[in-house]
Chain A
Amino acid sequence: MNFMGNTKELLLVHPSMKPVSLTEAVNVMLPPQFYTLKKEALPLRYAYQAKKIAPSLFDGLLEAGSHYEYMVWKEDEAWVFLAYDIEKITAFLESKGFALEHVSKLFFAQQSVDLFDKPLFLGEHDALVSLDHIVVVVPRGALTQEDGSSLLFNNRFTPKKGIVLSGAYGSVLSLKQASMLAAIFILFALMFFVEGSRYSDDSETGEAKMQELISAYPALQSKYTRDSILTKYKAIDTAERKKREIVKMVSGMLFKGVTLSSLEIDAKSFKVHFTCKDAQVAKRLTLLATKNKLKTSAISGSHDLKIEGTL
C-alpha cells in the first residue's frame, strides 16, 4: 500500500487533445507550449534566491500584460527557470473540459526531462522530444525512422514538485493571504491558551489563605461542622444582640421626668413600663420611641407608657 506516494492519474495535455470528462482528481503535465524555459549557470546557493531574480531573467521574453509565475530548480550546475501564466493554463484546461476542482497538481514536461529518452507523440502531428536536455515540441514528420514508436506516458512521469492549482481559482483569498490570516488567528489562539492556563494557575492561589486558616483551626475543615457551628452561634448572636440593643434603647429613653417602672426581657419578647411626670414628657417619650421604631401604648388613668414587642 502506498500511503505517501502520489496515486492520482497523470494526464499529459496538449492543444490538439480531445475534451475530457473527469470524475475524480488527476494530475496534469503541461508541454512546452504552456511555459517559457531558461537555463542559466548562476552562482546561487538557494532556490529562493533564484526565484527572486527569475522575473529579471525573462525581461522582454514574456508577453506583456500577462501575469507570470515562476518555478526554479537546479539541474547539475545550472539553474532552470520556468515562467508560466496560470490564467492561460486554467483557461486552456477549462476549454478542454477539465473541472478545475478535479485538477490536483500541475507539472511541466521539463521536470521529467530525464524520462524522455524516446519521442512522445502528441496527437497526430506533434511529438515531445528531449533536445540538449530540454523538452521541446517537434513535428512528427521531423522524427527519423530510428525513433520508432511513442514513449509510453504514465504515472512514472510524475515529478516530486508540482503546482497546487486549488486555491489559485475561485477563492477570495490567495494561499498566501490565507496562510497569513491563519498564522494571525493561531497566534491569537496561542495567546488565549497561554492566558487561560495562567488564569487557571492563579485561581489556586486564592485558596492559600483558607488553607492557612484551616491548618490553624483543623476542626473547621469540614463544611458541615462549620455550617453547624455557624447556625448555632449565629442564632444566639442575633438574638442576644437584639436583647442588648433593647436594653440600651430603653436606657437612652430615660430623661428628666421619666422613670423606669419595670423592664422584662425573656427569650422571645420584652415589656417596658415608663412612668412619666406629665403629658408633655409622655409625648416626648412617645416621639423618642417612634424614632427607635418602638410602639408605645398609654396606660389609662395616668401619663404612663408601655412598650411591648417581640425579639
Chain B
Amino acid sequence: MALSRREWLGAVGLGFAAASLPSFARRALAEAPRAGKLFVLIFQRGAADALSVVPPLLEPRYRLLRPTIALPAKGEGAPLPLDGFFGLHPSLAPLLPHFKDGTLAIVHQVGSPDPTRSHFDAQDYYELGTPGQKGDDGFLDRALADLPEDGKAPFRAVALQPTLPVSLMGPVEAVAVNELAQFHVGPASGSFEAMYRSAVDSVLRGASDEAFAALHSLASSGALGRDAEVAAGYPKGGLGRRLYELAALVKSGHRVQIAATDIGGWDTHVGQGTQRGQLSNRLRELGSALAAFARDLGPRFADVCVAVVTEFGRTVRENGTHGTDHGHGSVMLVLGGAVRGGRVHARWKPLDDHDLFEGRDLPVTTDFRAPLSSMLTGHLGVADVRRVFPGFALPRAEWPRLI
C-alpha cells in the first residue's frame, strides 16, 4: 500500500530536515496552510429550497412558477440584492455584511450528479462523497486521513450532535458531543477508562478511546463554563447552541480541524411561506447563528471556513400545497475569513422547462464535490482530492475558486 500523505509527512518531520528535500517538496511544505485551520460542515437535512434561499431576481419565470411562495419583488420582504441577478432571502440579512465584505460566497445550481430524490440515499451519497455508490467512510474522514495530524488532538474532528454523521465515519477518530456541559462521567470515570481500554469489543473500545481522550483534554483546559454574555449573541435553537460550543472549544485552545453539525426542518412540502413562515424561520436561525459564530470567533474567523450544504434541491414549481417537492439542484453557502466571497458562483441555466432537470427541478450545473474540493485543498491543505472524492475527475481549473 502506498504511503499516505500523513505518513509521508510524518516521516519527513522525523527523519529529514526540510533543506534536504527536493525543491518541489520544500515548496509544498512552505505553501502548506499553517496549523489552526478549521473547516465546518453544516448539513441542512431535508433538502433546502435554493430558489428561496438565493432567488434569481431577473428570472421572469421565478415568480410565474411560484405564484404564492416567491418573495415579493419589492417592499417589505423583498430579497436583498446581491449582484444584480441574485438576491438573498431577507431572513438571511445577518449574512449580507459578509457578502459585502467578501467573506461569504454562494454556489448556485450545485448538487449531486446522482438523480435520487430519496433524502436517505442522497444524504448518504453526499456524505460518503461518492454519488450513486454506498460505502463505509465519509468524505471528511478521508480528508482527515490526508491531512497532517499535528499532535494528539482529541477534538481534531468533532460532531456537535448526539451521533456521528456519515461524513465523519471511518478509521480516523472523531468525537460526537451533543452538549459539552453534559459531557462527563463522574467519579467512576477512571474505572470505565480502564475497563474499556482492555475491552475485547473493538467497536466500543474505539468510541471509548476517543471519549476519554476528549474528557481528559476538556479537564486539562478547565471546564468550558458557559459565558452567558457571549451565548446571548447567538439565537435560540440547536444550531446557535452548537456553534457557541464550537467557538468556545476553539477559543479555549482546543485544536479542531473539522467540525460538523446538522440543522433540520428543510423538507418544506406544505406552506413553506415567503418572507415569513416555516422556511423563513429556519433561515433566520441559520443566518443569525452563522453571523454570531463569525463575530464570536473574532480574529480566529480568519482561519475558519464554513460550508452550508443540503442533500438535494426542490421542484422549481410550487406544488399543490404551497410548498415544494423533492428536486435536484440546490445552493451552497460558504462563509469564512479566508473565503473569496462577494460573488455567486453559478453556471446558470434559466428556468425554462427544457433546462430544468427532468422538466421540473432546478438543474445541477456544479458538482458539489467541486466547491468542496476547493475548500478542502485551499483551506485545509488536502493534497489529493481524488482520495477524498474517488472517481471525481473534474480538473482544478473548473472548480469554483472559493479560497
Q: Do A and B bind each other?
A: no
